[in-house]
Amino acid sequence: MITKKMEAALNEQIKEELGSAYLYLSMVGYFAHEGWDGMAGWMRVQAQEELGHAMRLFDHVVERGGRVKLHSLAEPTAKWASPLAAFQAAYKHEQHITSCIHALVELAHTEKDHAAAAMLQWFVTEQVEEEDHTMKAVQLLERMGKEGRGLVMADRELGRRATQKD
């Protein structure tokens, strides 16, 4: 059985993960509108991953005899100044998610909830990858993707993520 405190915190994190999917879907719309199909594809994969993260937490709450409570999602930003600005926002968002996960791990230890702590270890590792992927996209855009031909090449490069997953 899960404690009420842990249940509430995991329900909050379900909202964070769904909110991540919502934000990244908004970025898909932005990139697609601007004609950056490669970046739209990259973000679409990312949004799908976030739904998977939410469901991992969802299933854990259910399996532990807890009650899932879904919260309202904030309306995400719909427009960014540039593709680089959008990826910078995504990188900053992933750093925020990492701090949420670390706070959850600490709570699991305080609550002596070893099952939640074990489940959350997957997220600790995943966040290293999440930050790395978004940071590398930012670096790529900084180096070659400010405008013109370089940006077209960066779009093509980032779009490879979508075709690799398909």
Q: Where do contacts with ligand FEO occur on this chain (CB under 6 A)?
A: 17, 20, 50, 53, 94, 97, 130
Work out how close the CB of 50 gets to ligand FEO at its nearest, in angstroms, rounded to a whole number: 5
CB 64 within 8 A of CB 2: yes
Work out how close the CB of 56 gets to ligand FEO at its nearest, in angstroms, rounded to a whole number: 9
* Of residues 100 and 144, the one with the C-beta less far from ligand FEO: 100
Closest C-alpha among 120, 76, 71, 77 to residue 100: 120
Work out how close the CB of 111 gets to ligand FEO at its nearest, in angstroms, rounded to a whole number: 22
Q: Look up residue 106 and give its amino acid.
A: E
- Which residue has the closest beta carbon to ligand FEO? 53
> Taking every pair of C-alpha atoms in the chain, what is the biggest distance, in angstroms?
57
* Of residues 7 and 130, the one with the C-beta less far from ligand FEO: 130
* Of residues 100 and 115, the one with the C-beta less far from ligand FEO: 100
Q: How far apart are CA 11 and CA 3, in angstroms?
A: 12
> Number of C-alpha atoms within 13 angstroms, CB side, residue 108?
16
